[in-house]
Amino acid sequence: MFENVIVRRPARSMVEGITSAPELGRPDYTLALKQHEAYCEALRRCGVAVTVLEPLEAYPDSCFVEDTAVITRKGAIITNPGAPSRRGEAAEMLPVIRGFFPEERIFSIGAPGTLEGGDVMMVGDHFYVGRSARTNREGIAQFLAILEGMGLSGSEVPLEHVLHLKTGINYIERETMLVSGEFVDRADFASFRRIVVPEEEAYAANCIWVNDRVIVPEGYPRLEAKVRQAGYSVLTVDTSEYRKLDGGLSCLSLRF
């Protein structure tokens, strides 16, 4: 169960954020703020305390706090984002993490290693980490060594098409994963119950489990129905403006 969530309000500069889908248009900042507020309210309905950080105008993508740290039950790992324009974001997150963990339980990924939290999927005490354009072999090696030192485990998952691991697969507890695209038949996850995301709703693979509820992006009815049919209580939140920046539900928070 989660007790805390950290989020950061989007900066006005978010309209200049990184995107692989310029055809979706630039984000509407006013709408993005409203969607962020609704996201925070959904999290509170799940029974967690939400820490809301101030915007960072110098970092257009800084609302995607998940990429700046990985938080385990044993401690926190400050990342080193692979996107050069985002590397200062992790340093901004460090003092916030110090408010939750003592210094001896905070670790970090150092250059030349890169790692973004969107490539890390927690399944109990095991962490799957995607090797992507943003997370390299050295970053993964450092990450796995830190996990081992904590008494936790991890394994690498090479990615073929998606930006981040959790773009295409997400664990929603109860030995269940949402899978899409390249992950539908991946052997790494064969032992789990898998809910296949309809191809036309692939974006919705990025759902989050928070204290026995699953938050699903609004506007993806087929996947929402599948999650409900699997026995979960569902909340929906519109993330249309974050999708324009390759972002989804998990990207917007650190949950622990």
Cis-peptide, bond into residue 112, ω within 30° of zero: yes
- Burial (Cβ within 10 Å: 0-12, 13-18, ≥19) of residue 131: middle
Tokens of 206: 């990025």
Rounded Cα distance between 118 and 156, Å, is 14
Helix (H) or strand (E) holding 36: helix 29-45
Rounded Cα distance between 70 and 55, Å, is 20
Active-site pick, 36, 63, 164, 207: 164
Rounded Cα distance between 251 and 242, Å, is 9
Strand bridging mode 176-179 / 193-196: parallel
Rounded Cα distance between 10 and 252, Å, is 9
User: What is the greatest pairwise CA distance in the chain?
Assistant: 45
- Tell which residue, 46, 105, 48, has the closest CA to residue 78: 105
Active-site pick, 40, 46, 207, 251: 251
Residues forming a β-bridge with 220: none
Rounded Cα distance between 135 and 83, Å, is 9
Residue 14's φ and ψ, nearest 5 degrees, are -55, -25
Q: End-to-end CA distance of the chain: give it in Å, rounded.
A: 8
- Is 251 a known active-site residue? yes
Which of the residues are catalytic?
A: 164, 251
